[in-house]
């Protein structure tokens, strides 16, 4: 191989390395994926004494890869607790009177956020696809949706929306 050929190959390799160096880092995930037996600390959701969702601390001490391959491992206790409350809130909303499954083209009412993520509002939709785009269950009427907000708590429902969209307080 002559020197010019070798230089061309080295320049191509250098160009590939430059691409790797300038490639933007992927966004940081809220989840954590410890390596087996690396000893890293994590938090996971579990059930408490009364079947409520709670966060529990763990340490990656097992060599079993599957133990760390699910979406229930969080980087901090704060995030794990926020998700435990958000999922519990979602289930509480589903159990409120007037909550029902999305039904065809009949008008049903959804709890949603205002544009600034600062308040809740109830909106009626008759399109099943639109109903499915929102986190909360459908309600038979605005009355039942308003009552669910009052019962579960507007602040708690706001925290649920924010947590599920990665906004923590």
Whether the predicted pLDDT of 166 surpasses 80: no
* Residues 28-57: tens digit of each pLDDT: 555 566 677 777 777 778 888 888 788 777
Share of the chain above pLDDT 70, in %: 86
Identify each DSSP E strand in the chain by its residue range.
Answer: 41-47, 53-59, 73-74, 99-100, 108-113, 120-125, 138-139
Q: Cα–Cα distances in Å, from 72 out to 30, 106, 159?
A: 10, 36, 19
Q: What is the pLDDT of residues 55-85, one digit of tens each?
A: 777 777 777 766 666 667 888 888 888 989 9
| Higher per-residue confidence, 5 vs 108 | 108
Distances (CA, A) of 148 to 76, 80, 83, 122: 30, 25, 20, 11
How far apart CA 100 and CA 145 sit, in angstroms, is 11
Which residue, 116, 41, 55, is CA-closest to 84? 55
Is the pTM higher than 0.75? The answer reads no
Q: Are 102 and 128 in contact (CB under 8 A)?
A: yes
Q: What are the residue ranges spanned by the domains of the chain?
A: 25-75, 86-169
Higher pLDDT, 110 or 77: 110
């Amino acid at each position: 191989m002559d020197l010019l050929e070798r230089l061309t190959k080295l320049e191509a390799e250098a160009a590939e390395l430059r691409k790797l160096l300038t490639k933007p880092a992927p966004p940081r995930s809220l989840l954590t994926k410890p390596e087996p037996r690396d000893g890293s600390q994590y938090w996971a959701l579990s059930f408490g004494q009364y079947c409520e969702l709670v966060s529990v601390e763990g340490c990656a001490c097992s060599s079993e890869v599957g133990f760390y391959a699910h979406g229930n491992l969080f980087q901090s206790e704060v995030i794990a607790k926020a998700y435990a409350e958000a999922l519990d809130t979602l289930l509480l909303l589903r159990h409120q009177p007037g909550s029902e499954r999305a039904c065809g083209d009949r008008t049903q009412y959804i709890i949603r956020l205002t544009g600034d993520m600062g308040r809740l509002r109830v909106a009626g939709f008759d399109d099943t696809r639109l109903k499915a785009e929102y986190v909360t269950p459908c309600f038979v009427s605005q009355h039942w949706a308003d009552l669910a907000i009052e019962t579960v708590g507007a602040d708690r429902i706001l925290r649920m929306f924010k947590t599920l969209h990665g906004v923590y307080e």
